Chain A
């Protein structure tokens, strides 16, 4: 405890708390409240720890005057009953009254997330929409408003968590759970599955992007549009390969014959920050490696490897996919 306090108090180490996935570097209202709550609780914990252990040190190392029975009982009742009742009562009243705020229902946008082993299907349902905008492995949210997030899982339990924005909620097969998030700052963050979900649990993350509402609206409009046609020879060959190799059986690329729903929607794949649910950078080389042997990066993945393709073919496929912005 002492050392932990020292680490976070020292200014040059304050950067230790920063990060795309850090609870202590909040960009959402809920995360901000919880981060503040943490610092308060930490300060209290350090004081109490020093008090109790100082007392133990004192009584074991520095022989005090023996304590009378009444004083001893006062210590037991005061330290064990009265003091914690007051402190914990105050803490509970404050913290539990915050709970409804963080569970409030969202307004405007609803994001429906379906967790698969090991990726996320994401549907955006703007207010009044009759059809969703479908995406995968990335969450975008407008700042300054609370968005509703509806959660489902396909086969096993997962947990949806963007530390910079707020707490996590599990996705459970056969049940629908919900949460809401209210980003206050635009930025790029990382979320991750927090409930152990199988062999590649460690490789089930996602990018999270918060944007000012007007930017978000523009992005959503672009996201709703069909895929761009391939540009150039290589990409066109790639597009043909995509269909002839049967990729479309699992993946949808809206505006083409590929309409599979088993795997992630790839219509605007290259506009995302990461590949393969937050584990690879969105780069051509990574894409090529991934298509050739996905299990190397994500053991237990359902997507088969395409290592029978030649380097040129893989290159073409990657060119096509990188053009899907």
Chain B
């Protein structure tokens, strides 16, 4: 391998004229020539490389298995856990259907019924639909991209353990009769006033899971942007990767408003800060806006991944490339954008002005267009090819039949006046289940049938698949089709019982029968999925004759994923590049070995996928499990008012994360360059905008800023919705202190930027001085911010105005603490040689964080110091 390249690696960093240390860039030949790709690899070398890779990627055995972080393990646990939560939520649905089978039933008490429907909705949304997308994506995305793993494997593992702990906690509450019972939408004042721990379980447990979801979304986005194989320009990506980008971005902008809402909500529940209490200047409508700004994109977050699965299955079924790739990408992006402009259609009956209803009605109808484009592109693809009917296609066809029905009722309910009639009735229950079964459950099951041979190298049963399909499909229609009529005959949603005189009895009985037929179908599917298959033969390598990279993996499976990271020039490499498989297996492509015994991944440029580096990625560890456990403690203990224990748990969680970062990320490499094969040398360390870590911080901060923006939205919402904001005689936050705090943030930011500059210029001592100054300034800015609300004596429990001012201060204060911790981490890194002029990723990421923190700090200072005075 090395003999094709003669340049000796340079060990010393290069400097430019001003003394600035420059990063290494790729050296050698790129792109590879056909001749280079044809050159065979010596069998002995190949065997040695395979040996190295196998050792580096070995999955831990025995009880240590659970310390694995590889995407194939984590993805498997993640998807099975989400499936298990789905079954639990399904059982709740069956129990509710028994209760509603006959009028005036007393099988479940009203309170238990309310807990059940709350948990059914919450679990299906937060514990199944969104995590299932992330789980499946973690499992298969790297393979689509010819990558060996996700860019941050430990983050996936951390996300999974958080999801497991949070999910068991939230769902387990049902066993103790302590679940939330105010609906999955948790409208205040009902939910703020509910007694017991139910709402706290919902708020804190699900916030915990949402944070894990965001972490996974960040990782998926970075994986798609930065870890594509060389040559896979953004317009050659498999459509699934496009959907991952769109859905990841949607999660990033949709979940934070809910987290901001949860934050306010929990402050009201624990500290009695009256954000949603109309008697003290609050407004319950603020929650509805924040919830549905999250809640509507959520629907598309659930729906688009299934379209993504269909977009992978359909070309294979038709045995030809997808028709209208560009149209599909545009439509997916279009749906992503539109979905943020529709939230008010969940609030058509709240008495908003007609003009907004008209606008949101039209925007809701507009979603039909991109959705229609995607569906017609699929049909055109099927028409353009010759369809071989296989099990996955049956499920996809069933999905389209159900989804189009749900879409058409969606057109009806998007018409505001018609919605006034059917809103919150069984018509909506039918509509939403048609869209979710057709837009999520059926395509996902189809996808599982399709990808199962890729994941386990075994096939699922054709016969059981048919049984499962026809049971689920017929049961679904028997259950949900009559519900349209039930709703039109006036049955509201979320009723624990109904009188015989209402005349809804026979319709409900039919639905109950149907629900059990669905359950039978799902059980057949579950059996087919989980039944032992050890005696079954392995499948062939590419059983469906598909065209995308995931089917190039070895049979039997190897933990390394892709034997070498290919150079790709087409959308369907296995169809369009006939020699690719042989070259891949031979290890003729990039990083076919693991000379230092490390797990590595290729980092490439965001648009053109030019290779930029081959960086090590993290391997098995227990610290992610510990970190998740302690983070769980920090979220769960406050439910039981154990605030100090929660703080301790939080400190331990931070310690675990610091340990994990310090020992495994942005390590100074032994060699600055690595021979990546095919005459190409790549740096083994990247920092700044080339680095996945930098993108991770950037994307996380976009989400975090969205949460902050949601709080700011809250301030302006109160201002427009309430005449007493701020109340006439209320003390205002101190303007001078607010100004000082804003100045402090700006100076701390300046010092951080200076530290990064000086460090790059090799002046490590000066850089340390500036980092120290930045820490001091950050502490000062944080203290000034606290005093801004403390000195004038704002009483947050008295009115929504001081409450929202204090909430902003607490939010920004907490971020300041984090910012100071990050600076101290860099200081320690510089001191102990982890951070050098050349290897400065930590400091660059910290600087990036401070760009955002400075902005939110200054905005907070303005909102506290200036805005109330402008109003008063």
Contacts and interface: CB of A to CB of B under 8 A. Distances in A.
Contacts of A161: 492
B490 A299 contact: no
Contacts of A108: none
Interface in B340-377: 349-351, 354, 357-358, 361-362, 365-366, 368-370, 372-377
A157 B380 contact: no
Given A66-B384, A198-B190, A175 B354 contact: no
Contacts of B358: 96, 99
Contacts of B331: 80
Q: Which residue, of B285, B327, B415, has the highest number of chain A Cβ atoms within 10 A? A: B415
Interface in B551-592: none
Contacts, number: 286
Contacts of A69: 323, 384
A215 interface: no
Nearest to A3: B481
B754 interface: no
Interface stretch (A53-61, A136-144, A256-264, A315-323): A53-61
A99 B323 contact: no
Contacts of B411: 41, 45, 88, 91
Interface stretch (B385-393, B771-779, B848-856): B385-393
B488 A22 contact: yes
B378 to A, nearest CB: 9
A153 B418 CA distance: 24
B349 A168 contact: yes
Interface in A89-110: 91-92, 95-96, 98-100, 102-103
A83 B285 CA distance: 37
B181 interface: yes
Contacts of B114: 196, 199, 201
A56 B497 contact: no
B488 A17 contact: yes
A194 interface: yes
Given A45-B409, A96-B416, A194-B492, A75 B369 contact: no
Contacts of B327: 73, 76, 80
B485 A7 contact: yes
Contact of A200 (B110, B368, B423): B110
A219 interface: no
- In the complex, which range does the number of interface residues on chain A fall in? 35 or more
Interface string A35-61: 001100110010011001101110111
A75 B380 contact: yes
Given A66-B384, A200-B110, A41 B412 contact: yes
Contacts of B369: 80-81, 84-85
A99 B416 contact: yes
A72 interface: yes
B76 interface: no
Q: Which residue, of B181, B190, B362, B424, has the highest number of chain A Cβ atoms within 10 A? A: B190
Q: Which residue, of A72, A76, A92, A151, has the highest number of chain B Cβ atoms within 10 A? A: A76
Contacts of A30: 417
A72 B323 contact: yes
B183 A196 contact: yes
Contacts of A187: none
Contacts of A169: 349-351, 420
Contacts of A285: none
B187 A34 contact: no
A292 interface: no
B490 A22 contact: yes
B182 interface: yes
Given A69-B323, A81-B369, A155 B193 contact: yes
A55 B421 contact: no
B189 A72 contact: no
Nearest to A34: B421
Contacts of A49: 404-405, 408
A17 B357 CA distance: 28
A179 B354 CA distance: 12
Given A34-B417, A72-B380, A196-B493, A178 B361 contact: no
B49 interface: no
Interface stretch (B276-284, B540-548, B683-691): B276-284
B97 interface: no
A103 B351 CA distance: 10
Contact of A175 (B278, B323, B393, B401): B278
Contact of B349 (A52, A67, A170): A170
B442 to A, nearest CB: 13
A60 B390 CA distance: 10
Contacts of B361: 92, 95-96
A302 to B, nearest CB: 14
B365 A88 contact: yes
A156 B182 CA distance: 11
A21 interface: yes
Interface in B285-329: 285, 323-324, 327
Contacts of A19: 489-490, 502-503
B193 A103 contact: no
A3 B484 CA distance: 11
Interface in A150-165: 151, 155-157, 159, 161, 163
Contacts of A202: 110, 494-498
A311 B860 CA distance: 66
Nearest to B357: A99
Interface of A: 1, 3-4, 7-8, 16-17, 19-24, 30-31, 33-34, 37-38, 41-42, 45, 48-49, 52-53, 55-57, 59-61, 63-64, 66-69, 72-73, 75-81, 83-85, 88, 91-92, 95-96, 98-100, 102-103, 151, 155-157, 159, 161, 163, 166-170, 172-175, 177-179, 190, 192-203, 279, 299-300
Which 9 pairs show the lowest CB-CB distances between chains A and B? A174-B278, A167-B420, A21-B490, A80-B373, A177-B351, A202-B495, A72-B380, A45-B408, A80-B372
30 contacts: A3-B481, A19-B489, A19-B490, A34-B418, A34-B420, A53-B400, A56-B379, A60-B387, A76-B327, A77-B373, A80-B370, A80-B375, A83-B372, A88-B366, A91-B365, A96-B362, A96-B415, A157-B189, A159-B349, A167-B349, A172-B350, A174-B282, A174-B283, A177-B350, A179-B351, A194-B492, A195-B349, A202-B110, A299-B109, A299-B110
